[in-house]
């Protein structure tokens, strides 16, 4: 699978301290994948920060090349229907 990152995604990753390796690991082995708005999809995975488990949300566009649109990490697991 070929993957590219938008400038927005790269900026958000830098601001949030999320590495490309963490994003790629989530895309390779998501805990689940959901449909998102505008024909996008969301891959979800786990990352750890300060001994706390966070949900990594990677929003992407389908195509010949998967485009990572934005990335966020959250501790609000129940809000996104995830049980640790």
Contact partners, residue 11, CB within 8 Å, separation at least 6: none
Instruction: Specify the CATH architecture of the domain 2-80.
Output: Roll (3.10)
For residues 43 and 69, give the distance between their C-alpha atoms in angstroms, rounded to a whole number.
12
Q: For residue 38, what are its two tokens?
A: 């505008």
Q: Is the pLDDT of residue 83 over 80?
A: no
Residue spans of the domains in the chain: they are 2-80
pLDDT digits (tens, 9 = 90+) for 23-80: 999 999 999 999 999 889 999 999 999 999 999 999 999 887 899 999 999 999 888 8
């Amino acid at each position: 699978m070929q993957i590219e990152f938008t400038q927005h995604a790269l900026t958000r990753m830098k601001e949030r301290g999320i590495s490309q390796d963490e994003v790629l690991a989530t895309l390779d082995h998501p805990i689940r994948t959901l449909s998102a708005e505008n024909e996008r999809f969301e891959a979800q995975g786990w990352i750890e920060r300060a001994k706390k488990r966070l949900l990594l949300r990677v929003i992407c566009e389908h195509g010949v090349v998967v485009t990572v649109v934005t990335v966020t990490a959250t501790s609000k697991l129940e809000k996104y229907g995830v049980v640790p």
